[in-house]
Amino acid sequence: MAGIRMQGIVKTFGKTTAIKEISLEVKDGEFLVLLGPSGCGKTTLLRCIAGLETVDAGRIFIGDRDVTDLPPRHRNIAMVFQSYAVFPHMTVRSNIGFGLRMKRVPKPQLERRVQEGAALLALEPFLDRYPAQLSGGQRQRVAVARALVMDAPVLLMDEPLSNLDALLRLQARADLKRLHREVKRTTVYVTHDQVEAMSMGDRIAVMREGVIEQCEPPMQLYTNPASQFVGGFIGSPPMNFLRGRTKAGAFEGEGFSLPMDGSRVEDGRELLLGIRAEQIRFGERGVPARVQVVEPLGATALVTVLVGKVPVKVDAPVNTTVRPDQNVSLAFEPADIRWMDATTGAALAH
Amino acid sequence: MTAVAAARSPRMNARTWDRVLIYGSAILLALWVLVPFYLIFLSAFSRPNDVFTYPKPLLPTDLSTETMQTFLNSTGVFASVINSIAVAVLTIVISLAFGAPAGYALARFTFRGRQAVQLVILASKMFPVAILSIPLAVAFLRLGLYDNVLGIALVHSAMALPFVVLVTAGVFAGVSNELEEAAMTLGCSRLTAFLRVALPLALPGLAAAAIFTFVISWNEVFASSILTLRQRTLPALVLFALQQSPLYFKFAGGFFMVMPAIVFIFFMRRYLLNLWGGR
C-alpha cells in the first residue's frame, strides 16, 4: 500500500499554465477528491499522477518511489476514465483481464481474479458480452472492475460518474464508496460535482485556476471555507455573501448594521459577510430584506430574499408563512458568520 | 386482403411506401452497377463470333469459355496478371507502411505545421503523371528501376499515399485516444497499446484503405504503360493490345480486369461491414 506525495508540480500547455506549483499529500488508503470547475486543472493533475502527462517541474512520489520519470505502466496505478475507455473489441472478460494479461499473470490466477472482480461489481452475467451490448452503467462498472483487479495500491478516477443519468449516479456513488471501504486503496477522485465530493471524500482539495484553494475534510470545508470561492462552490445553495465596511466595531452593509464581536478588524476595511442558507432565520430584528421567491422543495422551502439588491438564499421550514414582496428581517448567530476580505476573498482568521 | 389492411391503417400504408422507395432505389442503383458487368460477362463467355449477334440473348443460353481461353492463352496475359498482382501488393505494403504512421501522427499529435503537412499531402496530387512521366522514366532508367515491378509499385504508392494518409488519419482519429491511454495504465507501452488496442480497432478502416490502394494500382494504366516495356501490368497490356485485337478479346480483357477487384472486395467486405459487438 502506498500514499502519494506531490512536491511543487507545475504543468503548462504552450502558454497556458494548467497547474501552478501544487504540493499535496494523499495518505495511504485515503479517498481524496479533487474538486473544481472545468478548466481548473484537476484532470491535468490526475493525469500527471498517472503519468499520462509529464510535469514541467516538481516530483511525484508513490509510496517511497519517485515516479516522476516513469511511464504509466511502471507507476503501480490503475485508472478509471471519464469515457470509461472500455475496449470495444474485447468481451467484458477480456477487458477485465487485460491488465493482468499484460502483466503475464498465470492463467488460473488470472481467471480467478477476473471472476472476483466481476463478482465485486455484479458483472458475472455479462462476462461474455461485448461493451456495445452493455448499458452505460454496466460499462462504467467494467471500467472500475478492470482497474480494481490490477491490485494497484493507487486508484485514480476521472469523473467516473459524469456520464450516468441522475438515478444511476446515486447508486454508483454509493457502490464506489462501499468498494473503497472494502478494498482500502489510496484513491484520487476527480469531479466537478460538489455533492459527489462531499459524499465520498475523506478530504476534498478544491482547485481553482491551477491552485489548490483548500484541502480539508468535507464538513470543515463546508463550515469553514478558506475563501469566498470555496464557500460559493461548496454547498447547495452556495454560501451567501453580503458586502460591507467596518465602522466603530460594527459591520455596515447596505441598509443594515451588525455589531462585530471584539475589535480585531481595523476601521474602514471592506469585508464580506458569509452565511449559510440554513443558518438564517426569519426574526423580529436583524438584516432587513424583501422576499422575492418561495420555492417549496419537499423537506424544506428555499426562499430567495433581496438585501438591498443582493439575492440571499434562506433555507426555511416548508410551512413557512413568508410570501413574495413581504418585508422580513434575517437573523443569524454571530458564531455562524464567516468573514472574508472583500478584495482577496480570503477568510479572516477567527 | 392486404390491400384492405393497408387501407385501414394509414401508418402501415406510409411504411409500405417507404419500403417501396428504399428498395426501389436500391434495386435501381444495383442495376446501374450490375448491368454493364453482366453484359461484359455475357460477351466474355460466349463464342467469339456471337459477340456480334443482335439482339443479344439476355439469358446465358450458350455459354462458352472459348473467348476467355483465347484471351488467357495469348502471349503475355498470364505474366502481366502476375505483374499486376505483384505491383498492387507491393503498392499496398509500401503505402500502408508509410501512410498509416503518417495518418496516425496527424490524428494523434498536434505539432507545428500540422495543417501545412495536410495541405502539402493533398497538393502532391496536383502534379499530373503525364508531365512527371518523362523525367520519371529517365530517372528510373538511371536507377535501374525502368521496366521493373518495384518501379511501378513506387509510382503507384506515390499516387495512393495522399489518400492512404488522409483515410488512415480519419480512421485513427475515430479510435479514442483514451483507449490507448487506458491500455498504457494497464501495463502497455506506447507501442503495445497501439498494437493491442488502436490497431485492431482501426483494422476495418485500414482494410478499406488497402482495397482503395489495390483498385488504384490495378486500374492505373498511364504510368504503367510508360515505365514498362516487357514487364507489362495487365491494364498496360490491354491498352497496348487494344488497337490490334478483336472486340471479343476486349470483352474478355475487361471481364478479367474487373474480376479480381470484385473478389478482393468480397473478402474485405467483412472488415468493411463489421461493427464491433454487433452480430
Tell whether B253 is covered by a domain. yes
**Is B266 an 8 Å CB contact of chain A?**
no
Q: Do B277 and A132 touch (CB under 8 A)?
A: yes
Q: For A265-290, write each residue's pLDDT tens digit.
A: 778 889 999 999 999 999 888 899 99
User: Nearest CA of chain A to the CA of B277: how many Å?
Assistant: 5
pLDDT in tens, A112-150: 999 999 998 899 999 999 999 999 999 999 999 999 999
Report how far residue A302's alpha carbon sits from residue A315's, in angstroms, rounded to the nearest whole number. Answer: 5
| Chain B residues close to A140, C-beta within 8 Å | none
Confidence of residue A88 (pLDDT cuts 50, 70, 90): very high
* Structure-block grid coordinates of residue A170: 446515486
Residue B120 clears pLDDT 80, i.e. is over it: yes
With respect to residue B46, please indicate whether it lies within any of the assigned structural domains. Answer: no
Q: How many CB pairs under 8 A join A and B?
A: 69
> Which of B179, B185, B190 minimises the CB distance to A87?
B179
* DSSP secondary structure string for all residues of B50-107: GGG-SSPPSS--S--SHHHHHHHHSTTHHHHHHHHHHHHHHHHHHHHHHHHHHHHHHH
ipTM value, please give it: 0.85
Using N-to-C axis directions, what is the helix angle for B10-44 and B66-73, rounded to 10°?
Answer: 60
Number of domains comprising chain B = 1
Which homologous superfamily is A240-341 in? Nucleic acid-binding proteins (2.40.50.140)
Q: Which residues of B touch A143 (CB under 8 A)?
A: 182
Q: Is the pLDDT confidence value at B65 over 60?
A: yes
- More confident position, B221 or B23: B23
> Do residue B185 and residue A132 have CB atoms under 8 angstroms apart?
no
Average pLDDT over residues B237-263: 80
Instruction: Give which of A43, A47, A52, A77 to mutate to test B binding, by max B Cβ within 10 Å.
Output: A52
**Which band of pLDDT confidence, cut at 50, 70 and 90, is reported for residue A310?**
very high
Q: How many H helices and E strands in chain B?
A: 13, 0
Return the bridge partners of B198, or none: none
B-chain residues within 8 Å CB-CB of A131?
277
CB of B271 within 8 Å of any CB in chain A?
Answer: no
CA distance B92 to B216: 10
Looking at residue A262, its pLDDT comes to 60
pLDDT in tens, B146-175: 888 899 999 999 989 988 888 888 889 889
Let me know if residue B17 belongs to a domain.
no
With cell 475563501, the residue in question is A227
| Rounded-to-integer distance, Cα B45 and Cα A339, Å | 96
pLDDT, position B276 = 35
Mean pLDDT, chain A, as a whole number?
92
Q: Which residue has the cell 511543487?
A: A8
Instruction: Note whether B181 contacts A: Cβ–Cβ < 8 A.
Output: yes
Report the residue from A78, A103, A130 with minimal CB separation from B277.
A130
**List of chain B residues whose C-beta atoms are within 8 Å of the C-beta of residue A99:** 186-187
Q: With a cut of 80, say whether residue B272 has pLDDT above it.
A: no
The nearest alpha carbon in chain B to A143 belongs to B182
8 Å CB contact between B51 and B117:
no
Residue with the bigger pLDDT between B14 and A335: it is A335
Q: What are A11's strand-pairing partners?
A: A19
DSSP strand pairing (A186-191 vs A154-158): parallel
Of A73, A88, A103, the CB nearest to B277: A88
> Which residues does chain B have within 8 Å of residue A72's beta carbon, measured at their own beta carbons?
181, 184-185
Q: What proportion of chain B, given as a percentage, has pLDDT over 90?
A: 26
pLDDT of B277 above 60: no
Number of H helices, E strands in chain A: 8, 20
In a domain, B51, yes or no: no
pLDDT digits (tens, 9 = 90+) for A17-34: 999 999 999 999 999 999
Q: Where in chain A is the domain with CATH 2.40.50.140?
A: 240-341
- Least confident segment among A53-57, B47-51, B81-85, B235-239: B47-51
Give per-residue pLDDT as tens, B99-118: 999 999 999 988 888 888 88
Residue B49 lies in a domain: no
Q: What is the pLDDT of residues A138-195, one digit of tens each?
A: 999 999 999 999 999 999 999 999 888 888 889 889 999 999 998 889 999 999 999 9
Say if A171 is an interface residue toward chain B (CB within 8 Å): no
Chain B residues in contact with A82 by the CB 8 A cut-off are 178
Residue numbers of the domain that contains B183: 75-273
- Are the beta carbons of B183 and A71 separated by less than 8 Å? no
Domain A4-233 carries which CATH code?
3.40.50.300
> Which of A47, A89, A140, A157 should be substituted to probe chain B, the one whose Cβ sees the most B Cβ atoms within 10 Å?
A89
Sheet holding A310-317, edge to edge: A281-283, A327-331, A287-296, A300-307, A310-317
Q: What CATH code is carried by the domain that includes residue B216?
A: 1.10.3720.10
Predicted confidence (pLDDT) at residue B275 exceeds the cutoff of 50 = no
Q: Do B178 and A131 touch (CB under 8 A)?
A: no
pLDDT at B98: 94
Of A223, A212, A164, A220, which is closest to residue A188 (Cα–Cα)?
Answer: A212
CA-CA-CA-CA torsion for B185, B188, B194, B199, nearest 10 degrees? -100
Give the integer Cα–Cα distance in Å for B88 and B95.
10
